[in-house]
Amino acid sequence: MNVLIVHAHNEPRSFCAALCRLAEQTLREQGHAVKVSDLYGMNWNPVAGEADFLERRNPDYLVYALEQREAVTARTLAADIREELDKLLWADLVIFNFPVYWFSVPAILKGWFDRVLVSGICYGGKRFYDQGGLAGKRALLTLTLGGRDHMFGPGAIHGPLEDMLRPLLRGTLAYTGMTVLPPFVAWHVPYVSDEVRAGYLQAYQARLAGIEQDEALVFPRLDQFDARLYPLPAES
């Protein structure tokens, strides 16, 4: 299996970075091919803009998704995007490794999604959900946060974790066709003991050992909707 780890933490000594290193080591030991995109280490540019295209179909007005489609056909995407897109298309499993910032991802990772999930390959037209351009690939979110687990769930102060992650799980990964695995979460990381952190590492290693048997989350399929994307009647 080919695995891409997209790592987004600005401190190489962080626990989040330790999770990234553990994943790389564990998966390599299992015989998988692994590539790591360390976004801070790469000084990844998160800003989507006109410099992302070596040539422009419309140099006077930037419609980013349309220019992406043109650049895919003409092979005029900027080199850094092309390199990351090649890694993404190579991968069977993509692990996104990051700390939660403001109920979301760090800006540098959001910029990776904006620039690398290009229209014309990853999505476009009715190329989404089970018909998305990345169908057949699996995705895992590995995340750290400061909150305790009791702060997330129905009736909890922050609500269900799945609601917080919905833009990622559904609106990004499932939308582009990826099979989305349940996230791995390390809770309250800045405040717990070394023993608790060691337990998280053990749990993550065990999770990775069985990753090929993980049961995926369920998202819509296009065959549940008509040509205008209205829901079809439920079967009785």
Q: What's the average model confidence in pLDDT over 153-160?
A: 93
| Residues facing 119 on adjacent strands | 123
pTM of the model: 0.95
Give the span between the Cα atoms of 9 and 17, in whole angstroms: 7
pLDDT band at 236 (very low <50, low <70, confident <90, very high): low
| Residue 235: per-residue pLDDT | 72
| Residue 36: per-residue pLDDT | 98
Q: What's the average model confidence in pLDDT over 7-15?
A: 96
- Indicate whether 200 pLDDT > 70: yes
Per-residue pLDDT tens for 111-156?
999 999 999 999 998 899 999 999 999 999 999 999 999 999 999 9
Q: What's the average model confidence in pLDDT over 188-199?
A: 94
Residue ranges per domain, the chain?
A: 2-224
Q: What's the average model confidence in pLDDT over 7-28?
A: 97
Q: Which two tokens stand for residue 205?
A: 């290693």
Percent of the chain clearing pLDDT 70 (strictly above): 100
pLDDT band at 234 (very low <50, low <70, confident <90, very high): confident
Q: What's the average model confidence in pLDDT over 68-91?
A: 96
What architecture is the 2-224 domain classified under in CATH?
3-Layer(aba) Sandwich (3.40)
Helix, strand, or coil (residue 142): strand
pLDDT band at 100 (very low <50, low <70, confident <90, very high): very high
Give the span between the Cα atoms of 166 and 160, in whole angstroms: 10
Q: Are 128 and 175 in contact (CB under 8 A)?
A: yes
